Amino acid sequence: MSAEVPDWFVLKDPGDISLDIESGNRYANDRLERLISEDLWIISRPSWMSEEEWLKIKTEEFGGHTLLKLAVSQDPRLTTWLIEVEGDLFEFRFISTPSFEEKINVLKELYSEDKVKEIHEINEMYGIDLYRKFNIANIETRSVKYTKSRFGSNIKDLEKKIAIHFTKIPSIISVRRALLYKGWGIVTLADIRLAVKREFEKQLREVIEKSKELVDDDDGLRTATKPIFDKIQKIAKSRRLSKDFLSLGIDEGVEILTKSELFPPCIQELIGVLKSEGHLAHMENWQLGIFLKKAGMTVEEQQRFWYENSVDNIGISFEQFKQRVNYQLMHMYGKVGGGIDYSPPSCTKCINSYFCYWAHKRTDKIIEDMKLLFEDKEKKVLDTAIDDISKLQRDQKYKRACARYFTLLTGWKIKGNQINQMMHYTKQAYRRFYSKKDTESDETESDNND
């Protein structure tokens, strides 16, 4: 199978490639510079290129990647950074390659060949026409529009449907973004784009962990990779990664920013991921940034917040980081561009285009979170709430699930029994816990931002 996988897929077996340490460090330095500058590129062999020339390109590709893996394996923070930037590069390559066959072969390499099928293979296996039986031929997914805006319009393959065994895409299955048929999840490539990226990142982390064992046991290898390790370590600003998503750690700003228990679950989750992994997807960055702005954080406070919690600060000072993110933040606050004072997206928009805790996180993980957070609750009360929320998730009533969670947290009920806006959740929680004059939740939400 590996021979059919494209050479831009760095987790494949590179084959017969020899590499000396001096060349390896040079290739690693070149790759490091491109990754730091956020360069995105893909390698492919044109018909006119000789075998010798192509072997040189492959050696530079795999040699540089291999030395970086060995080097960062000694530092968990640098490991996270490399996984993120290599993940972004993989996503770009996976989406932008014009070959549908290459995409399929990469999926088979990631998920196992017998767990990925094209639709015609499923039709032949079961004697069925899936498109006709389920009337799904012309359905587009919500992921395509966002993907086009980032990678251009030449992504028709992402609208094509494929079949992946349900055991390989549990996060997609749990939020009902796949048509299940005899154990196969029928999805478009756009549906699973982020899941595929996460699988690549998971497998890359496993490879790096094995690399650490090699370096730890081999003094010669550790000495050979030390120059590139020293370079990465030198440009990396040390920071503490916290998995405590219940604390922002902000000393300044309006009062509400010191009370993260008031934040809706989606925002708490995004903060937790940012603090533990150092990065979010582009749309999640925007969602969190707009929320923090609306909650009272200034541009300057956001600059500091993102610098202290993002791996994007590697190799640059705070002043350089501010220059990099300043325009986007100023745009978010309506100070440049069209002068629009943006508000947080509605819950409907979060469900469809951004991040919704109830729509996009696996039910079993949510149950784990709830049992940990509400361990002091009476068991019967908590079990009833978990059952209610799980059913609402299965029925795709995500805004009602959020309202039920709010009731468990506060003891109050939201009129209309659903949350339509992140800030409304926060305002109601503030009234419940900190406003003495309020004794019940009586405000009715509107969904005008949909």
**Domain span at residue 298?**
255-332
According to the per-residue pLDDT averaged within each range, which of 24-33, 225-234, 254-263 is highest?
A: 24-33
- Asked, for residue 132, whether it belongs to a domain, the answer is yes
> Which helix or strand (DSSP H or E) is residue 186 part of?
strand 184-188
How far apart are the C-alpha atoms of 422 and 425, rounded to whole Å?
A: 5
Q: Which residue has the higher pLDDT, 186 or 177?
A: 186
- Asked, for residue 209, whether it belongs to a domain, the answer is no
How far apart are the C-alpha atoms of 24 and 29, rounded to whole Å?
A: 9
Q: Which of 192, 254, 263 is nearest to 419 (CA)?
A: 263
Residue 370 confidence (pLDDT) = 93
What CATH number corresponds to the domain at position 111?
A: 1.20.930.80
Residues 27 and 175 in one domain: yes
Residues 60 and 155 in one domain: yes
Residue with tokens 């066959």, as numbered in its chain: 101
Residues 351 and 320 in one domain: no
pTM listed for this prediction = 0.56
Model confidence band, residue 88 (pLDDT cutoffs 50, 70, 90)? confident
- Asked, for residue 267, whether it belongs to a domain, the answer is yes
Cβ atoms 446, 440 nearer than 8 A: no
Q: In the chain, how many domains are there?
A: 3
**Residue 73 pLDDT greater than 50, yes or no:** yes
Residues 142 and 289 in one domain: no
Residues 44 and 162 in one domain: yes
Domain end call among 180, 196, 212:
196
**Residue 308 pLDDT greater than 90, yes or no:** no
Residues 419 and 271 in one domain: no
For the stretch 44-58, pLDDT in tens is: 888 899 999 999 999
C-alpha angle 208-269-428 in degrees, rounded to nearest 5: 175
Average pLDDT over residues 58-64: 93
Residue with tokens 């600059």, as numbered in its chain: 303
Q: Which residue has the higher pLDDT, 249 or 376?
A: 376
- Asked, for residue 74, whether it belongs to a domain, the answer is yes
Residues 328 and 353 in one domain: no
Average pLDDT over residues 70-82: 85
Residues 169 and 299 in one domain: no
Measured CA to CA in angstroms, residue 415 lies from 187, 351, 357, 358, 419 at distances of 36, 21, 21, 19, 9
Percentage of the chain surpassing pLDDT 90?
Answer: 36
At 13, phi and psi to the nearest 5?
A: -70, 120
Average pLDDT over residues 20-26: 87
